[in-house]
Structure 1
């Protein structure tokens, strides 16, 4: 390809910013980032926004390369045939290549009353609404947090540390990702903060009302505020645009992160489903997927074969208030080990990681392409091969039938 190449990145989160910055490696590539907000949202700090210890935003000038043009708008439709994007503001944007990095948000709770009475916390606006509600509530107001994952645990701990009476409803088990040893450490810290943990058979939430949460076993937990952190969903932009997605709405791609429908569209982050085997929705995956999506685009521009994705995990870190936390170590395939770092050291590790993420974004902006290695999960290739063999077998069986 000769001449200037227009690349548009949809979504200015961790994956989108990393992709946009990496694309500036080539002087003949014009990069445009389309994002609905003028500032970068540091999502891994949204629970701190709710607790009042951080605003969870960073100026794009600190994390985005100068050559990247920021357009504050929302993409409403992708026209792959024409290679154009329709924008909510009424305009359009043309592209030669597109990086689809729309991220994730709150999932439809599908529980009666949850959408009406509970406060989600998956994006900046939701976290700010919850913060305002917490500020307006009396100091004695009880808070019920629904969700046993990192967001639920962190929000419960953050609010409890400010003196709130907090109940954490986990459903089956506290911290499903955690190893049993790590889970015990988290439970001990939450107990020390005064958080009441509700888990086990019958602890599934069946209904949310204005002042209570009703569980499957008939229990009713009274509370003044309910926070909903159970699950994440992805925007339906790809599906609305006629592109193939997985059951959750993530864009289906091959192992080079290229759309199954169009070689000009590449995906990264929470909204990507390579080989229909998506990685865990996380900042940890996003900062690896973003640059690799960009490298796929750069390879196509250069006329070379894109490399398959390589993502490996180190663990999961969870803050437990401002003075403690846990780093749960994992294998590269994202399964927890028996080793964890807890207490104050765990809290310091979490804070160091949070700061390092923003540093990584800024470093990629200043020196795109300096990171050339990825933590590889050796089991990924086996899983992809098994998926392909299963799909081929299903096609054969269908032909026989």
Structure 2
């Protein structure tokens, strides 16, 4: 392509920032990042923001390459034919290529009363509102956390640390991703913090009121503050723009992360569904998918064929308050094994990983293309060759 190339990235999360930074490898590429907030949200720390034990934002000037133009606005619609993005403010941006990295948020709860009386924690604004609610609640007020994935576990542990009375309602098993050995370690730590963990079929929320949570087995739990972490969804921008999506709203792509409808649109992060087999919604996947989406664009600009996506998982890390955590090891196919590191060592590793994420963003901003992942997933390739495309189970908010 002769002349300058305009690439628009929609979404300034982990995948979007990594993609935008990688795209600056070429001097003839102009990169514009659209994001509704002026600051980067470090989502894996939102539970700390809620508890008042840490921050969850960073300055974009610290994590974005200087050549990336930040537009603080919301993408309202994509026009693939016209290659434009309409903004909520009324303006439009043209593009030669588009990186779709809109991320994920809380799925709208279908349980009666949950939308009115429960507090999600998937976005910065939701976490800030919940923090204000908790500050206004008495220290002895009962808090119920709904959802047994990483976000639910971390939030329950963080809130229980200062002595709050916290109940974690799992709606199934605690930490579905975890190996049974790791799950037992998490349960022991939560018990030590005073968290009441309710598991099993009966521990499914059937309704939420202003001051109580009702379960499927008939129990009613007093709850002055109810936190909802069960389930994640993606924005409907792609569907509203006439692009093909899966049943969760993720953009349908091939293995190079290219939209099945338009070769000028690539996807990354939680909002991508390559070959109908989306990766687990997680920072771990987003940090790998972002650069690879950018590489698909860069290869096309260089007249080369894009490479199939390669994402390797190493496990899941979950903090358990400020003094402990767990790193659950897994194969690159994202299946947990018997190995885990728990206790204080697990907490130190989790904190090191969280700090490392921002360091990777900064490093890619200053040295685009220097970070490389050499991973492979033979099981994924075998499944694709066999035509087996079921989406893997996800619990949302994975690390």
TM category, shorter: over 0.9
Counterpart-to-counterpart distance in 2, 1:76 and 1:40? 20
Q: Distance in 2 between matches of 1:131 and 1:208?
A: 19
Assess, with a 3 A threshold, how the Cα gap between structure 1 residues 53 and 253 changes in structure 2: closer, same or farther. same
Report the counterpart of residue 222 of structure 1 in structure 2: 222
CA contact (8 A) 1:288 1:374 kept: no
**1:383 and 2:383 correspond:** yes
Which residue in 2 is equivalent to 1:187? 187
Q: How does 1:114-153 map to 2 (within 5 A)?
A: 114-153=114-153
> How far apart, in 1, do the equivalents of 2:124 and 2:372 lie?
32
Q: Which residue of structure 1 lines up, in the alignment, with residue 233 of structure 2?
A: 233
Measured in 1, the distance between the counterparts of 2:386 and 2:139 equals: 54
Post-superposition Cα deviations, 1:335-387, rounded to whole Å, max 9, x if no partner, equal: 00100000000000000000000000000000000123332222111122233
Aligned CA distance change for structure 1 residues 70 and 178 (closer, same or farther; 3 Å): same
Moved more, 165-174 or 372-381: 372-381
Indicate how the Cα distance of structure 1 residues 389 and 38 shifts in structure 2: closer, same or farther if over 3 A, else same: closer
Distance 1:286 1:68 in 2: 19
How big is each residue's C-alpha offset from its partner over 1:186-205, in whole Å with a ceiling of 9 and x where there is no partner?
00000000000000121111
- For 1:56 and 1:384, the matched residues in 2 are separated by 38
1:2-401 equivalences under 5 Å are 2-387=2-387
2:206/2:214 contact within 8 Å kept: yes
User: Structure 1: how far apart are the matches of 2:74 and 2:294?
Assistant: 21
Deviation at 1:310, TM superposition (A): 0.1
Does the C-alpha gap of structure 1 residues 191 and 21 become closer, same or farther in structure 2, counting only changes over 3 Å?
A: same
How far the C-alpha of 1:388 sits from its partner, in A, is 6.1
Secondary structure of the residue aligned to 2:178 is: coil
RMSD: 0.9
CA distance in 1, matches of 2:264, 2:98: 6
Specify every segment of 5 or more residues in structure 2 that has no aligned partner in the other structure, as ranges.
Answer: 391-399
Q: Report the TM-score when normalising by structure 2.
A: 0.97
**Helix, strand or coil at the partner of 1:171:** coil
Please give the alpha-carbon distance, in whole angstroms, between the structure 1 residues aligned to 2:89 and 2:108. 26
**Structure 1: tracts of 5 or more residues without a match:** 391-401
Shift of 1:297: 0.3
Q: Deviations over 1:40-60 (max 9, x none)?
A: 000000000011011200001
Whole-Å separation in 2 of the counterparts to 1:374 and 1:62:
27
**SS, match of residue 387 in structure 1:** coil
* Paired residues of 2:288 and 2:373 also in contact (CA < 8 A): no
Q: 1:375 to 1:218 in 2, by over 3 A?
A: same
Q: Is the Cα–Cα contact under 8 Å of residues 48 and 158 in structure 2 kept in the other structure?
A: yes
**1:168-197, Cα deviation, whole Å (9 max, x unpaired):** 000110000000000000000000000000
Q: Structure 1: how far apart are the matches of 2:235 and 2:279? A: 17
Deviation at 1:389, TM superposition (A): 8.6
Q: Secondary structure at the match of 2:312?
A: coil
Tell me what 1:395 maps to: none
8 Å CA contact 1:3, 1:28 repeated in 2: yes
Q: How many equivalent pairs are there? A: 390
TM-score (normalizing by structure 1): 0.96
Structure 1 segments, 4+ long, off by >6 Å, are: none
